[in-house]
Amino acid sequence: MNLRRALKIRRAMTAAAITTGLVLTVAGCGGGGGSDDKPDKESSSNSSQSKGSDDKDSQDPAADSDKVLAEVKGEQGLDLKITSAKRDEGGFVTVEGSVTNGGSKAWVGASWRGDERELAKNGGSLAGASLVDATGKKKYLVLRDTQGGCLCTKFTGGVLSGQSVDWFAQFPAPPEGTNKVSFQVGAMPPASIELSEGE
């Protein structure tokens, strides 16, 4: 149930980011309304229609699942994949991927929630994950709400042997120009990833 809630929250945040982007685009495109603007509007409309169909193809979940930015294997037969790491307009970074339990027992993710006392309520989750900027010598922790709940996936009920589960985690965005970071969680090896600009 919490995974569904997390997916709904992620979809809502994505929709809000897209809506904000569209509003800013419309505001930025407002012009003087002269006759010289008409050909540009028609050509931009045609290009946006063709671009829109390309965007739909690129947002196909099957296509996204094939793209892997990083993959690490570690504790208890776990296989962690990162498929997306995007800057969003709100000043944060959303990292997404999947975790596969290759072990013989169910995995509950207790070691991934972090050691801080306020994170204990997050149970098995990605609350203890971080992004590390080695060049800027900074570590970015998962964002939290006012009650200490992480803006990340909670593995309610654990991950059964052989099962794969999608996940996400949101972090404060590193400064512009910092595009390479390492994703770290639990005892898993660090995964080097490159940040992309959100749409």
161: domain CATH number is 2.60.40.10
Total domain count, the chain:
2
**Nearest alpha carbon to residue 182 among 168, 170, 166, 194:** 194
Say whether 128 sits in a helix, a strand or coil.
Answer: coil
Span between the terminal Cα atoms of the chain, in Å: 28
Say whether 54 sits in a helix, a strand or coil.
Answer: helix
Verify that 110 and 155 share a domain, yes or no. yes
pTM, whole model, 2 decimals? 0.64
pLDDT tens-place string over residues 110-138 = 888 877 777 777 778 888 999 999 988 99
Last residue of a domain, which of 60, 81, 103? 60
Given this model, what pLDDT does residue 89 score? 85
Check pLDDT > 50 for residue 42: no
Given this model, what pLDDT does residue 35 score? 45
High-pLDDT (> 90) share of the chain, %: 39
Q: Read off the tokens for 178.
A: 């910092």
Verify that 39 and 114 share a domain, yes or no. no
- Measured CA angle at 9 (ends 26, 195), to 5 deg: 65
> At 34, phi and psi to the nearest 5?
-70, 170
Average pLDDT, the chain: 75
What is the C-alpha to C-alpha distance for residues 139 and 151, in angstroms, rounded to an integer?
17
Q: Which residues pair with 167 in a beta bridge?
A: 97
Verify that 70 and 18 share a domain, yes or no. no
Mean pLDDT of 48-69: 52
Q: Counting every residue, how long is the chain?
A: 199
Residue numbers of the domain that contains 68: 64-197
Beta strands in the chain (DSSP E): 70-74, 78-88, 92-101, 130-133, 138-141, 164-172, 180-184, 191-194, 196-197
Given this model, what pLDDT does residue 162 score? 93
Strands 164-172 and 138-141: unpaired
* Amino acid at residue number 184: Q
Verify that 55 and 110 share a domain, yes or no. no
Verify that 43 and 71 share a domain, yes or no. no
What is the C-alpha to C-alpha distance for residues 18 and 11, in angstroms, rounded to an integer?
10
Verify that 92 and 171 share a domain, yes or no. yes
